[in-house]
Amino acid sequence: MATIVAEATGQAILHEEHEQSFLRKYIFSTDHKVIAIQFLIYTLFFLMIGGLLAMLMRYQIAWPARGELPLGGIFPETMVASGYILPEFYNALVTMHGSVMVFLAIMPMLVGVWANYLIPLQLGTHDMAFPRLNMLSFWAMVPAGILTLASFFVLGGAAGAGWTLYAPLSARPDLTGVGLGQILWLVALVFIGLSSILGSVNYITTTINMRAPGMTWMRMPLTIWSLFITAILALLAMPVLSAAGIMLIFDQTIGTSFFLPEGGGQPLLWQHLFWFFGHPEVYILILPAMGFTSEILSVGSRKPVFGYKAMVLALVSIAFLGFIVWGHHMFQSGMNPTLGLAFTVSTLFIAVPSAIKTFNWMGTMWRGNLQLHSAMLFAIGFVAMFAIGGLSGVFMASTPVDIYIHDTYFIVAHIHYVLFGGSLFALFGAIYFWYPKMFGRLMNETMGKIHFWLTFVFFNLVFFPMHGVGMVGMMRRIYDSTGYAHLQGIEDTNALITWAAFGLFASGFLFAFNFFWSLKKGKKAGANPWNATTLEWQTPSPPKHGNWEEVPVVYHGPHEYSHPDVEDKDWLAQNERPDVVSPAAGSH
């Protein structure tokens, strides 16, 4: 087992591929690139599951009195009875849609896929610091996925207390009828926490210790910066969630009362613990997306990232502030209102670095030579949609306004502008952009552009009107809004949203088709199809096991496009032409 010895010492393991069995190469692989692809397939699958759950919800919201759910017969009677989605099943849908999207789709797609794939390649190293921990971080996700899917079919159905799991609702099966389903999801969360912690340790160690010669901190691509900061956030936040989750399991099963007032516990303690994790979590869900966007915008504009240093500083300050704003989720929770004041201040301040980043992205496009391919369209879409999510956040951060809009569809609109218009747009961009490196072929551009425009239009038709129904006062997580006097008159809007949601879901299949079709039929990519400067493009596509024939030496900042001293082309790879002087990124 020469491989294991070599890996254990962290040495290069070039040219050993021929000795690996199929199982070691593709299933229990320790190659960071294979692990990334495993994460990609896994998360795309759960993205589809999460979307499917949303379609069922939208059907119910638009036509609560109709019944006649298409294919309703395939569901057990405990979920759908004679064509009607049952309220308890609706609660499971709301809960598991949010949970699946956040924990099994978006988060592992941002981090599991791209931290794994890009950190060694962009830093110029052979693999992660701890390849076997890395393999474990993928395999810990497998039981999590299985438990999640299984939880729908146990007695009482899947968890139904919201993805925020507010106690006592989440801890009292006697009040919800959901027992085992809730526990299965909590156990899944513990596995997810394990996976994320193992991964983070790896990403942090690799970034600190294994950069190629010449790859100084200020020459790291912004993708790496954002993934590095994200890993630190995850390492600090995930253990809190895991611990809180285990406490919740105890409350439910062995009679403790951490969160139950009857035994002297505190329901608000759960919320503090959850959001102490939860707010850093929302930055875990957006920082990597910001990194990909910076990268793609720079390549696509043929310009260095505008204000690289400001971008790094903004990332660091978001990460820091992210730990002291959790209370803004609890303004109406019964927490001391004076405490609310402190959280308003920290929350408003976190809007500043987000604004800085938006302006710098626009600065990057300014006087560029924009290549509007699919990846670039999604990156620009990210900036445009993230801005809307950021601006709607100002309403909520203003505590008096939050009194009214808290727990309404205004919040649902906000979540989705940030997580779908933000994170998922950037992820689509990242897939179009790095697919050729992963698989050696480009995804089809025509299909890619159609996919972008369909997604962009349907996305806005789904989520922009939600601000409107939120203003009218429609509460979130509600099974049927038609019984309320103040909610008369929004039925048409809700039907529109649902039709657009079907369109949005359907356009995902165009992407899936393109993804699989291009594996065989896509145009051959070559090493560097985008004429990009960072290291991953200076090795064949796909890179061999071990990534490099020879470890690259870095001479330049990460985004040297259109450098005036380079005449024959408009890019300067990080590892070429030591004779050309490029300014330290961020200086002028």
Interface with ligand HEM by CB under 6 A: which residues? Answer: 51, 54, 57-58, 94-95, 97-98, 101-102, 106, 162-163, 412, 415-416, 419-420, 424, 462, 476-478, 501, 504-505
Amino acid symbol at 24: R
Alpha-carbon distance values, 198 to 4, 137, 152, 490, 546 (Å): 19, 6, 28, 47, 21
Amino acid symbol at 302: R
- Give helix 491-521 / helix 425-439 axis angle, nearest 10°: 10
CB of 329 to another protein, least distance (A): 12
Q: Which residue, 106 or 585, is less far from ligand HEM as judged by CB?
A: 106
Q: Which residue, 215 or 478, is less far from Cu ion as judged by CB?
A: 478
Cα separation, 296 vs 298, in Å, equals: 5
Q: Is 473 in the site for another protein (CB under 8 A)?
A: yes
Give the 3-state DSSP-derived string for 494-519, with helices as H, strands as E and coil as C.
HHHHHHHHHHHHHHHHHHHHHHHHHH
CB of 245 to Cu ion, least distance (A): 19
Q: Which one of Cu ion, another protein, ligand HEM, none interacts with residue 462, CB within 5 to 8 A by kind?
A: ligand HEM
Alpha-carbon distance values, 564 to 306, 500, 572, 576, 581 (Å): 16, 47, 10, 15, 10
Q: Which one of Cu ion, another protein, ligand HEM, none interacts with residue 438, CB within 5 to 8 A by kind?
A: none
> Minimal CB distance to Cu ion: which residue?
279
Q: Is 388 in the site for another protein (CB under 8 A)?
A: yes
Q: Which one of ligand HEM, Cu ion, another protein, none interacts with residue 128, CB within 5 to 8 A by kind?
A: none
Residues 401-460 that bind another protein (CB under 8 A): 401, 403-404, 406-408
Encoded one letter per residue, x for contact with another protein by CB under 8 A and - for no contact, window 167-206 reads -xx--x--xxx-----------------------------
Q: Is 83 in the site for another protein (CB under 8 A)?
A: no
Q: Which residue, 274 or 561, is less far from ligand HEM as judged by CB?
A: 274
Among residues 137, 108, 117, 135, which one has the least CA distance to residue 43?
Answer: 108
Cα separation, 439 vs 427, in Å, equals: 17
Element (H, E) at 137: helix 131-139
Q: Is 399 in the site for another protein (CB under 8 A)?
A: yes
Q: Which residue, 238 or 532, is less far from another protein as judged by CB?
A: 532
Q: Which residue, 139 or 349, is less far from another protein as judged by CB?
A: 349
Per the CB < 8 A criterion, the answer to whether 99 and 144 are in contact is: no
Candidate segments 224-232, 282-290, 474-482, 538-546, binder of another protein by CB under 8 A: 474-482
Q: For 65-124, give the DSSP string.
A: TT---TTGGGS-TTTEETTEEPHHHHHHHHHHHHHIIIIIIIHIIIIIIHHHHHHHHHHT
CB of 99 to ligand HEM, least distance (A): 7
Candidate segments 22-30, 147-155, 296-304, 445-453, binder of another protein by CB under 8 A: 296-304
The pair phi, psi for residue 85, each rounded to 5°, is -70, 130
Residues 115-134 that bind another protein (CB under 8 A): none
The C-alpha torsion from 90 through 96 and 102 to 106, rounded to 10°, is: -100
Residue indicated by tokens 């962290």: 10
Q: Which residue, 51 or 291, is less far from ligand HEM as judged by CB?
A: 51
Per the CB < 8 A criterion, the answer to whether 394 and 355 are in contact is: no
Amino acid symbol at 585: A
Q: Is 33 in the site for Cu ion (CB under 5 A)?
A: no
Cα separation, 287 vs 551, in Å, equals: 29
Residues 222-251 that bind another protein (CB under 8 A): none
Q: For 540-572, give the DSSP string.
A: -SSPPTTS-SS-----S-TT-BS-TT--SSSB-
CB of 110 to another protein, least distance (A): 23
Q: How far is CA 137 from the centre of its chain?
A: 17
CB of 327 to Cu ion, least distance (A): 9
DSSP-derived 3-state class of residue 524: strand
CB of 399 to another protein, least distance (A): 4
Q: Which two tokens stand for residue 104?
A: 């099994």
Q: Is 392 in the site for another protein (CB under 8 A)?
A: yes
**Dihedral sign of CA atoms 532, 533, 539, 543 in order:** negative
CB of 162 to another protein, least distance (A): 5
Residues 252-281 that bind Cu ion (CB under 5 A): 279
Q: Which one of another protein, ligand HEM, Cu ion, none interacts with residue 332, CB within 5 to 8 A by kind?
A: another protein
CB of 235 to Cu ion, least distance (A): 19
Q: Which residue, 279 or 373, is less far from another protein as judged by CB?
A: 373
Encoded one letter per residue, x for contact with another protein by CB under 8 A and - for no contact, window 24-43 reads --------------------
Among residues 335, 10, 30, which one has the least CA distance to residue 198?
Answer: 30
Strand partners, 85: 80
Q: Which two tokens stand for residue 440?
A: 């050696």
Q: Which one of Cu ion, ligand HEM, another protein, none interacts with residue 163, CB within 5 to 8 A by kind?
A: ligand HEM
Give contact residues for Cu ion (rule: CB under 5 A).
279
